[in-house]
């Protein structure tokens, strides 16, 4: 995988994680499952990418973390969206919509 | 434990082991959930665990990456560097403190020497003026006194101060000397003997346990 694609995917993963967590606090395993389910199996997040992303977003204070008890009765680390995280999610969503519209115009010039 | 993101540099440095334990616990939770889901599909627990582990990927690398992010990249080398810097800083503080203490002690010694020099000069001046305070011995009971008169040698005696503080002096009889200094006793004896002799030149030597 080229560096350019890896950089694009990492930026996309941050957006996906922020969006999933915006729906409610969740631990890493649930976040991965939600991304997979909502993408209807198209997107499968690798754990090697997911957990560093979660810790990076926590360090940037876009996510807040807290240890609790999961639905299976196990001790787990739950992430929720912070106030600054909500602002960042909104900004990344606008950026993504602008990017996808631009790509769409390139791919389908007759419809533009 | 507070989120590592809320901790400053030094506190994160001190809590690296705790942060490592938390990262491992988080990843272990993921593996446990993945294993449970695989068991639910019909796999045996040991097989499910192995498959979950395989799908997870390089656990140690992922743990390392997460730890690097949480601790700000405070690897062992950084810890050693930070520790060496702290040790150097403390050493400089100690040297500064020790230097100040040495300077203070030197000043105290210099002050003491100045005082002793002033006292010695004062004593020398007193001796030059004939008032040597060392010779101002107070006569006590039990002291042995040598009375010498170069003009009237018949007066030369050696007497021990009796319990009543007196000595027996030829022609004078019992004469009180206890409590007088040597100089005072000489002066008193000279005055008393002056009534009996034309000229007297009384010198008194005191032998006590302190001066001998």
Q: What is the pLDDT along chain A (112 residues), one digit of tens a residue?
A: 445 544 546 668 999 999 999 999 999 999 999 999 999 988 888 888 899 999 999 999 999 999 999 888 888 999 999 999 999 999 999 999 999 999 999 998 765 4
Report chain B's mean pLDDT, rounded to a whole number: 83
Q: State mean pLDDT over B189-203.
A: 89
Q: Does A34 touch chain B (CB under 8 A)?
A: no
- The contacts found for B187-191 with CB under 8 angstroms, 24 or more apart, are B189/B147
* C-alpha distance from A74 to closest chain B C-alpha (Å): 7
Q: At what angle do helices B45-56 and B16-40 cross, to 10 degrees?
A: 120
- Helix (H/G/I), strand (E/B), else coil: B83: helix
State pLDDT tens for residues B77-102: 667 777 888 898 888 888 888 888 88
Say what the pLDDT of residue A111 is.
Answer: 55
Question: Would you place residue B209 in the very low, low, confident or very high pLDDT band (cuts 50, 70, 90)?
Answer: low
| CB proximity A55 to B under 8 Å | yes
Instruction: Tell me the C-alpha distance between B20 and B24, whole Å.
Output: 6
The chain B residues in contact with chain A (CB within 8 A) are: 3-5, 22-23, 25-27, 29-30, 32-34, 36, 55-58, 61-62, 65-66, 69-70
Q: Cβ B62–A65 below 8 Å, yes or no?
A: no
A56 at B interface, C-beta within 8 A = yes
Interchain contact A80–B (C-beta under 8 A): no
Helix (H, G, I), strand (E, B), or coil: what is residue B207?
A: strand
CA distance B23 to chain A (A): 9
Q: What is the reported pLDDT for A112? A: 47
CB neighbour list of residue A57: distance below 8 Å, 6 or more residues apart? A14, A17, A18, A63, A79, A85
Q: Write the residue in A46, A58, A72 that is nearest to B3 by C-beta.
A: A58
Q: What is the mean pLDDT of residues B149-161?
A: 89
ipTM exceeding 0.95, yes/no: no
Residue of B nearest to A79 (CA): B3
Q: What is the pLDDT of residues B7-63, one digit of tens each?
A: 665 655 567 788 888 999 999 999 999 999 999 999 999 999 999 999 898 999 999
Nearest chain B Cα distance for residue A93, angstroms? 25
**Of B123 and A77, the one with more pLDDT:** A77
Chain B closest-CA separation from residue A52 CA (Å): 5
Worst-scoring range by mean pLDDT, A40-44, A55-59, B128-132, B153-157? B128-132
Question: pTM, whole model, 2 decimals?
Answer: 0.54
Q: What angle do helix axes A47-59 and B59-70 make, rounded to 10 degrees?
A: 10
């Amino acid at each position: 995988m080229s560096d350019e694609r890896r950089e694009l995917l990492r930026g996309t993963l941050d957006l996906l994680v922020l969006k999933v967590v915006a729906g409610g606090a969740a631990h890493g395993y649930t976040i991965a499952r939600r991304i997979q389910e909502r993408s209807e199996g198209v997107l499968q997040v690798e754990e090697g990418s997911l957990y560093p992303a979660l810790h990076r977003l926590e360090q940037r204070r876009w996510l807040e973390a807290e240890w609790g008890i999961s639905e299976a009765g196990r001790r787990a680390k739950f992430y929720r969206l912070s106030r600054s995280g909500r602002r960042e999610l909104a900004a990344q969503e606008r950026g993504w919509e602008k990017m996808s519209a631009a790509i769409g115009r390139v791919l389908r010039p007759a419809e533009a | 434990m507070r989120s590592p993101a809320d901790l400053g540099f030094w506190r994160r440095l001190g809590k690296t082991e705790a942060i490592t334990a938390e990262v491992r616990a988080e990843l272990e939770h993921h593996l446990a959930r993945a294993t449970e889901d695989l068991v639910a599909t019909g796999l045996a627990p040991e097989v499910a665990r192995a498959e979950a582990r395989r799908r997870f990927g390089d656990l140690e690398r992922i743990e390392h990456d997460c730890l690097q992010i949480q601790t700000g990249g405070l690897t062992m080398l950084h810890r050693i560097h930070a520790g060496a810097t702290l040790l150097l800083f403390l050493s400089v503080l100690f040297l500064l403190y020790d230097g100040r203490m040495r300077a203070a002690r030197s000043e105290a010694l210099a002050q003491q020497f100045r005082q002793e020099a002033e006292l010695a000069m004062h004593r020398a001046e007193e001796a030059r003026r004939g008032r040597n305070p060392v010779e101002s011995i107070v006569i006590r009971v039990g002291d042995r006194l040598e009375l010498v008169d170069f003009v009237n040698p018949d007066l030369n005696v050696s007497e021990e101060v009796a319990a009543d503080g007196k000595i027996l002096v030829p022609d004078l009889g019992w004469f009180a000397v206890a409590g007088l200094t040597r100089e005072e006793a000489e002066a008193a004896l000279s005055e008393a003997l002056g009534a009996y002799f034309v000229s007297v030149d009384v010198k008194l030597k005191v032998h006590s346990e302190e001066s001998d």
